[in-house]
Amino acid sequence: MNARYVGIDIGGTGIKAGLCDTSGALLAVHEVATPPQRGVVDVLDAIAHAAKTAAGETWDDVAGIGLGMAGFLDIPKGIVRFSANFPQWIDVPIGAQIAHRTNKPVLVNNDANVAVLGEAWSGAGKGYDHVVLFTLGTGVGGGIIAHGRLVEGAHGMAGELGHIVVRHEHGALCGCGQYGCVETIASATGIVRLVREAIAQGAHTTLREVTAKAVFAATDDALCARVIAEVTDALAQAMAAIAVVVNPQRLIVGGGVSLAGDALLEPLREAFARKTPAAVREGVDIVPAMLGTTAGVIGAAGLHVHGRA
Ligand SMILES: [Zn+2]
């Protein structure tokens, strides 16, 4: 039998279902809007329906469904404790509910973990067993694949790479309650903050609008150059910290900020080389993510191949 897996990316605005084969190739995608009231039953019904629609005629070949979503999850039990996208949900047993509606085994994981799994299975980490992903968006997310398997930790909190502390003095307050996390610097929010603070202190800039994208595009702006140096220094420091722990083959950079491409990656590689012992540095490449917004559905499907045993 040609087994198939369905992965579902459950977001506040859309529910995206993808059908994958055993190699991680994405065969079909079906996306629907998240039911506007975001009530439990409506969303669960929409998820089950999206899974069946994505699989179409191959539904009988589907060996499992994976769900990925942001929030505080009990991963082993498949329970959503709390999710900012679904404020009414408290302790929803989403895994059991979708299994009941579909009669398929269901695995659940958070959005950052399924993204790294997608990249490792089918994207920039394909063919490697030791892969770390940093997702640079509004915040900084992350995930770790070691020995070909997702590292979840005792309570599913492993891979919270955005909260590696990189500034021990004068660090900014992070959403997690700590100071100086890499998320406070290398996220889109952090980059904008750095520019705004410098302007408030009298720094001159040619920027017309302060966005992460504009900062990386400004080639002749001394303030932007300084901010880029600070961002890549902080991110390289976090990468060095995780690299000496898990000795990865690929450090993948995804998320909206990563669209800056070489303007981000080149100084990042230089800073990483300065901060990492040679024996760890050699054999690891810093590369851009490849899958974009499909990493979530592919990785969710991959939970049945690379996730919890
Ligand atoms: Zn933090």
How far does the centroid of ligand 1 lie from the alpha carbon of residue 156, in Å?
17
Residues within 5 A (CB) of ion ligand 1: 163, 174, 176, 178, 181
How far does the centroid of ligand 1 lie from the alpha carbon of residue 13, in Å?
26
Give per-residue pLDDT as tens, 110-156.
998 999 999 999 999 999 999 999 999 989 999 999 999 999 888 77
Closest CA to 164 of 206, 132, 191, 194: 132
How far does the centroid of ligand 1 lie from the alpha carbon of residue 50, in Å?
34
pLDDT of residue 156: 79
How far does the centroid of ligand 1 lie from the alpha carbon of residue 167, in Å?
11
Which residues belong to CATH 3.30.420.40 in the chain?
4-117+294-306, 127-289
Largest Cα–Cα distance in the chain?
66
Q: What b/e readout covers 135-172, taking b as 16+ CB neighbours within 10 angstroms? A: bbbebbbbbbbbeebbebeeebebbbbbbbbbbeeebb
Please state the pTM of the whole predicted model.
0.90
* Residue 292: Cβ-neighbour burial (10 angstroms; 0-12, 13-18, 19+): exposed
Q: Provide the total of helices (H) and of strands (E) in the chain, helices listed first.
A: 10, 12
How far does the centroid of ligand 1 lie from the alpha carbon of residue 87, in Å?
22
How far does the centroid of ligand 1 lie from the alpha carbon of residue 162, in Å?
6
pLDDT beyond 90 at 1 = no
How far does the centroid of ligand 1 lie from the alpha carbon of residue 159, in Å?
12
What distance in Å separates the CA atoms of residue 107 and residue 77, rounded to the nearest whole number? 9
How far does the centroid of ligand 1 lie from the alpha carbon of residue 184, in Å?
7
How far does the centroid of ligand 1 lie from the alpha carbon of residue 105, in Å?
34
pLDDT (average), residues 73-102: 94
pLDDT of residue 124: 97
What distance in Å separates the CA atoms of residue 117 and residue 137, rounded to the nearest whole number? 18
How far does the centroid of ligand 1 lie from the alpha carbon of residue 252, in Å?
20
- Residue 84 confidence class, pLDDT cut points 50, 70, 90: confident
Fold topology of 127-289: Nucleotidyltransferase; domain 5 (3.30.420)
pLDDT of residue 219: 85
pLDDT beyond 60 at 198 = yes
pLDDT of residue 309: 47
How far does the centroid of ligand 1 lie from the alpha carbon of residue 4, in Å?
37
The CATH architecture that domain 4-117+294-306 belongs to is 2-Layer Sandwich (3.30)
pLDDT (average), residues 87-108: 97
Contact indicator for 120, 128 with CB cutoff of 8 Å: yes
How far does the centroid of ligand 1 lie from the alpha carbon of residue 170, in Å?
14
The phi and psi torsions of 78 (rounded to 5 degrees) equal 70, 40
